[in-house]
Amino acid sequence: MLPWLASLIARAGWRTACWTLGFLILGLLAPLNLLLRQRPQDLGLEPDGDSSLRDRAGAGKHVNVVDAAWAAVDWTLGRAMRTARFWWIALGYLSGLFAWYAVQIHQTKYLVEIGFSASYAAWALGFVSLAGIPGQIALGHLSDRIGREWVWTIGSGGFVICYVALLLLPSFPTGALLAVMVLSQGMLGYSLTSVMGAIPAEIFEGRHYGSILGALMVAAVVGGAAGPWVAGALHDRTGTYTIAFWIAIAGSTLSAFAIWRAAPRHVRAVAGRVSLHRVEER
């Protein structure tokens, strides 16, 4: 849709493109919401924390617990906010989403500024989203084998590679380098979403997980809002995105460091690590 919208903007203007997109969303997505099943029981499941589910799980429920004392706490939002782990996750999400949305919002304009056509730049953004589909599935699966921190680091590294490629493109405006930028951003960077819910779940699992995740997502949204604004403000002041891109590289690096400091692996082991521990015990 992005290349099509770009051509529509060129032919008819922003207002027509916005109205068209709005009607498409209303006509396609609104009816689809009516097909959603709202209750876990509709899928033969039970809500998390239900007593019968806990009874059936028995002792096996805690087989992946590494820190029994931490996992035994009934984590409320207030208790979570008094821990360093909560704020490390918040910092990781804020800085990670800063880098994500800074490039997503400004990538098309940047590519046009350095000489690519508007349609080519729109196709590049479209392929980023397309590449994100297999990347999120594959790296989400991988996180169950090697741990959440590693996949968050891979995703953060994807954005670092993406920004380095963008910085190099004015000197080497090749299709190959553009492909590196697209694939690293989509297949690697977008994998952050596959573990965004799992990281706090490993640390703060319990009845109040929803409120804890919601509070952490406030930090993510703040980062996602600040990234495009800072990049745009720096571009307006300096006439270039170079400083903004280097700040985003630093943000991605800081994000990976923060998630390692939060250390969900020290509270609960992922399925692959549980299996490995069982083999070692035998």
Residue 51 pLDDT exceeds 70: no
Say if residue 92 is in the same domain as residue 20: no
Say if residue 203 is in the same domain as residue 253: yes
Say if residue 234 is in the same domain as residue 152: yes
* Residue 46 in domain: no
* Residue 251 in domain: yes
Q: pLDDT tens-digit profile of 81-131?
A: 999 999 999 999 999 999 999 999 999 999 999 998 888 888 888 899 899
* Residue 65 in domain: no
Q: Residue 142 corresponds to which tokens in the numbers above?
A: 């991988």
Say if residue 92 is in the same domain as residue 169: yes
Nearest Cα residue to 100 out of 252, 241, 232? 252
Say if residue 30 is in the same domain as residue 88: no
Say if residue 151 is in the same domain as residue 20: no
Q: pLDDT tens-digit profile of 145-178?
A: 999 999 999 999 999 999 999 999 999 999 899 9
Say if residue 126 is in the same domain as residue 2: no
Q: How many structural domains comprise the chain?
A: 2
* Residue 108 in domain: yes
Print the domain residue range for 194.
76-281
Residue 112 phi/psi, 5-degree rounding, is -65, -40
In the DSSP assignment, the letter for residue 178 is H
- Cβ(262)–Cβ(88) below 8 Å: yes
- Chain center to CA of 6: 25
Residue 79 pLDDT exceeds 90: yes
Q: Is the overall model pTM greater than 0.85, yes or no?
A: no
Q: Residue 222 corresponds to which tokens in the numbers above?
A: 């703040």
- How many CA atoms within 13 Å lie on the side-chain side of 118? 8
Q: Which CATH number is 116's domain given?
A: 1.20.1250.20
How many angstroms separate the CA atoms of 108 and 231, rounded? 13
How many angstroms separate the CA atoms of 198 and 203, rounded? 9
